[in-house]
Amino acid sequence: MLEVAEGDHDTMPHGVTGEASVESIPFQVLSWKPRALYFPKFATPEQCESIIKMVESKLKPSTLALREGETAESTKETRTSSGSFLSGSEDETGTLDFIEKKIAKATMIPQSHGEAFNILRYEIGQKYDSHYDAFNPDEYGPQSSQRTASFLLYLSNVEEGGETMFPFENGSAVSPGFDYKQCVGLKVKPRQGDGLLFYSLFPNGTIDPLDDLRRMIFPSLVHFILKELVCGNGRRALAMVFGNLISQSIMTSLAIGTLVSACDFSPMCATLLQTSLHGSCPVIKGVKWVATKWIRDQIWTRDK
């Protein structure tokens, strides 16, 4: 045993040794399609009120990332909230930094991968139509990084309306002519201090399952081979599966397989994580405050 002479080391300050850190974070699985987790009492009422006070005087109309052909005018009714961006490094009280660290612990993704908080206010009638947080390169062009997950911290209770909704849960409501203004599907009611985490991508960062069949567990392989055959890419499917399967770690495949399912919904040839489509239902009574943390697949520095 190594002996340390008295006086040869400094006493660690309170908290650094772990006695003041968060040891467990309770959560509930709301859905596997989409992958959504609910964190009750993630923040205290005092922390929530403190965050609201930080941005009340800084709110501006919320904006959108535009697809080719879209304009601010043509999309102005899609998202009608007000908001402001604020990072933990800008908060002198330390509240946001504490919340960021707790989110990193809950997601097991480093704090450095998170964008600044987008703190939003929804007043009566305001909403956000269904959308995706990840940016599909086919629609938004090449991406240097992607939003892998989103963490919503509800800063206020809402008397009526304002739910976060996932209209495509388990494949429901899926159709080519889906009305993205509908408030349907899985709905999460805002409760002050509670958190909601959902994933937009595979754990390996891909959007389309056809690009990485080899990472599916064995029961999924059959499904995707059939999918590729139906879509006219049978040779590609067989080559990808049998050409790469042996070189992949079975443990990795199984681990990823426990987090995702073979396909989020039918019909075949649909992208896997389309069930991450989500929106904010119109507020009917009260005011909704929420702090959104978008989490990237790599270190994020653009808004620092």
> Is 28-205+273-296 CATH 2.30.30.700?
no
> At 82, is the secondary structure helix, strand, or coil?
strand
DSSP 87-134: -GGG-TTSHHHHHHHHHHHHHTS-GGGBPPEEEEEE-BT--EEEE-SS
The residue that leads in pLDDT, 162 or 169, is 162
pLDDT in tens, 60-102: 999 888 877 788 888 888 999 999 999 988 999 999 999 999 9
Stretch (H or E) spanning 166: strand 164-166
Q: Where are the domains of the chain?
A: 28-205+273-296, 209-270
The predicted model gives 217-242 an average pLDDT of 43
196 — phi, psi (to 5°)? -130, 125
In the prediction, which pLDDT does 11 show? 52
For residue 264, name the pLDDT band (cuts at 50, 70, 90): very low
> At 286, is the secondary structure helix, strand, or coil?
coil
C-alpha span between 220 and 226 (Å, rounded): 10
pLDDT in tens, 11-63: 555 455 554 555 689 999 999 989 999 999 999 999 999 999 999 999 999 98
